[in-house]
Amino acid sequence: MSLPKAELHVHIEGTLEPELVMACAQRNSVDLPFRSVEELRARYVFDDLQSFLDLYYLAMDVLQVARDFTEVADGYLARAAAQGVRHAEIFFDPQAHLVRGVPLREVVDGLVASLRTSEQRFGVSTRLIACFLRDKGPQAAEETWEALQPHLEHIDGVGLDSAEVGYPPEDFRGVFERARAAGLHLVAHAGEEGPPAYVWQALDTLGVERVDHGVRSVEDPELVRRLARDRTPLTVCPLSNVRLRTVAALDEHRLPELVDAGVLATINSDDPAYFGGYAGDNFDAVQRDLGFSDAALREFAANSFRASFLPEEQRAAYL
Ligand code: ADE
Ligand code: ZN
C-alpha cells in the first residue's frame, strides 16, 4: 500500500533486519547464539511482549558504533519510503545501548547522520523520540534524561516502552514533567498488554499527546469516550498485536470498534523487521482481514498526518 502516510510508531532497533544483524556481528566481532540469517529468522515466533523483547535486546547487541545506527536508519527509511511513508517519527531506546557500554553520542550521531538527509534521499521527513525503558524504573529514566541533555537539539520527544505490566505510567511523572518543561513532545506505550488504567495514567498523569498502541482502551467505554472527545491519537500496530498475541488473530482485532466510536486511530509497524511487515503491509493487512474500505484506509493515512508533530502548515499540505 503506497498511499502517502506518516509512521508514528516505529522503534529503529526493531527495523534491524537479520541480514544487517549478521553483517554488524561480523564486522564488530560480536558473538551471537545463532549462526545464520535463517537461524535468526527461525526465532521470530513470540508468545508475548517479553519473549519478543528478549530477542530484540539480544540482536541489537551488534549495534556498536555510529555507522551501525546510520545503516539501520538508512535501511528503514528506504523500505518505509517504498511503502508510501513520507514522514516518520522514530523511537530509539537510549538505555538499551548505554547498558551495553555504547556511548549515546554514537547512537545519536549515527541516527542523525541518516535522518538529516532523509528528505533529500528518501522523501521522508523525520522526528526522533527517545523512549525510557519502563522496566528499568523511574530512577534510571531520570539518569537517562540527564544523559540525553547534550543531545536535546536532535530529540523531539520522549516516550515510554519495554515490558508494560507491573510498570505503570504514573511512576514516570517526574521525568515526563522535566521533558515537558524542556519543550519536548510526550508519548507513551500504554494498553498494549497493560490495562486501561495505564492509558488513563498516560493521559492524566503524564499528559501524553498520543498513546502508543492503546488497544486495550476498548475494554473501558468511559476511556473510549474520553479518547474520542479529545481526539487523542492511538498509534495502533496491527501486525505487532498479532505476533505478540495481544490479539488471537487479525480478524479479531478491535480496531473497528475504536474507529466506530470516533477514536483517532493510526496504523503503524512497531518493529517491522520482526513482525512481518512495514507500514504499508499493516495497511494491507487491516484491509484484508478487517474489511476496511479504500476510503477508510485514506482516513487512517490522513489521521497519521493529523496526529504527527509536523507544523500545522505541513500537516495541512497532506490533508
Ligand atoms: N519496544 C520495542 N517494541 C515494543 C513494543 N511493542 N512494546 C513495548 N516496548 C517495545
Ligand atoms: Zn512500540
| pLDDT, the chain, mean | 98
Would you state the cell numbers that stand for residue 313, as one nine-digit string?
502548515
| 121 touches 77 (CB < 8 A) | yes
- Residue whose C-alpha is closest to residue 194's, from 215, 219, 165, 220: 165
Q: What is the pLDDT of residue 48?
A: 97
Residue 303 in grid coordinates? 489521521
pTM of the predicted protein model: 0.98
Under the banding of pLDDT at 50, 70 and 90, the label for residue 158 is very high
Ligand 1 neighbour 17 (Cβ under 6 A): no
Ligand nearest to the CA of 16: 1
For 73-104, what is each residue's pLDDT tens digit?
999 999 999 999 999 999 999 999 999 999 99
**Quick check: 272 and 15 in contact, CB under 8 A?**
yes
Q: Which ligand is nearest to the CA of 60?
A: 1
Q: Note down the domain range covering 29.
A: 5-307
| Bridge partners of residue 10, in order along the sequence | 90, 270
Ligand 1 pocket, 14 CB below 6 A?
yes
Query: At 287, phi and psi to the nearest 5?
Result: -70, -45
Query: Is residue 30 domain-resident?
Result: yes
- Closest-CA residue, ligand 1 atom 7, reads 162
* 272 located within any domain: yes
Among 273, 302, 269, 217, CA closest to 89: 269
Kindly provide the ipTM of the predicted complex, given to two decimals: 0.98
**CB 162 near ligand 1, within 6 Å:** yes
What's the gap between Cα 114 and its chain centre? 18
**First CA to last CA across the chain, in angstroms?**
18
CA 316 to chain centre: 23
Please report the atom of ligand 1 found closest to the CA of residue 240: 6
262 in any annotated domain:
yes
Residue 138: pLDDT over 90:
yes
Cell of 288: 484484508
For residue range 279-302, list pLDDT tens digits in order. Answer: 999 999 999 999 999 999 999 999
> Quick check: 284 and 64 in contact, CB under 8 A?
no
Query: What residue has cell string 502516510?
Result: 5
- The active-site residue out of 192, 193, 257, 299 is 192
Within 214-318, strands assigned E span 234-236, 265-267
Q: How many CB atoms lie within 10 A of CB 208?
A: 28
What is the predicted pLDDT for the residue at 1?
67
Percent of the chain with pLDDT over 70: 100
Question: Is the beta carbon of 270 within 6 A of some atom in ligand 1?
Answer: yes
Strand blocks (E) in the chain:
5-11, 85-92, 125-133, 157-161, 185-190, 210-213, 234-236, 265-267
Residue whose grid cell is 538508512: 74
Nearest CA to ligand 1 atom 5: 162
What CATH number does residue 92 fall under? 3.20.20.140
Tell me the pLDDT tens digit for each residue of 33-49: 999 999 999 999 999 99
User: Which atom of ligand 1 is nearest to 193's Cα?
Assistant: 7
Contact 227, 214 (CB under 8 A): yes
Does the annotation list 9 as a binding residue?
yes
What is the pLDDT, as a whole number, of residue 282?
98
Centre of ligand 2 from the C-alpha of residue 33, in Å: 25
Residue 248 has pLDDT above 90, yes or no: yes
Name the pLDDT band for 2 (thresholds 50, 70, 90): confident
192 an active-site residue?
yes
Instruction: Give a yes or no: residue 315 inside a domain.
Output: no
Residue 156 has what pLDDT? 98
Q: Which ligand is nearest to the CA of 160?
A: 1
Assigned domain for 314 exists: no
| 297, 282 Cβ separation under 8 angstroms | no
> Would the annotation count 87 as a binding residue?
no
Amino acid at 131: C
Res 24 pLDDT > 90 = yes
Read off the pLDDT of each residue in 51-77 and give the average, rounded to a whole number: 98
Return the pLDDT at 309: 98
Position 140 in a domain: yes
Look at residue 235 and tell me whether its pLDDT is greater than 80: yes
Looking at the domain assignment, is residue 318 inside a domain?
Answer: no
Residue 64 lies in a domain: yes
Q: What is the pLDDT of residues 105-132, one digit of tens each?
A: 999 999 999 999 999 999 999 999 999 9
Cα separation values, 124 from 111, 114, 312, Å:
14, 11, 17
Task: Please give the pLDDT value at position 100.
Answer: 97
Cα angle for residues 136, 170, 214 (degrees, 5° grid): 90
The answer, yes or no, to whether any atom of ligand 1 lies below 6 A from the CB of 189, is yes
Q: How many domains does the chain have?
A: 1
